[in-house]
Structure 1
């Protein structure tokens, strides 16, 4: 399994690249994640983990998060599982990496 990482806000380069990643990340989050995780990342339904909290999913390495997003994942004790690619089969590994970057910059634990 290979992981492709987009240009992020941490990379050197023209400022518009960071804005593009942020805009794309937000669009991907709104299109595939917001239904369950909510616009604030705290979870909009029972059993969905709060991705904003200390010790939450965003404290894990990028590769782990992308693998779980790619294959689906059920948090221990949760009555429901996140489907592979958040239920959006059109998402690519690059999209998932963009989502991780967006969530890390938006929902700082």
Structure 2
């Protein structure tokens, strides 16, 4: 067995904004919990239906414009959810640039 066989596979997920496959760890997971609440899931382990998005405002705008979160969750998404996502992405961006 070579080292290539032993390499761990990196899980990929598609961003609902740019529609590109990226490593799961680079994306932000949005989850609809069994209680029908939408939350940002920093651990990626919360129970519920998930969708992934790049941590950029650009991808969020594409997702909003194309109603891609609605399609992923098969239900309408309130403006409050989008606002919370925008705030979370801004906070993530601010902390990464420090």
Q: TM-score, normalised by structure 2?
A: 0.33
Work out which of the two has the higher radius of gyration on C-alpha atoms and give 1 or 2: 2
Pick the structure with more strand per residue: 2
Pick the structure with more helix per residue: 1
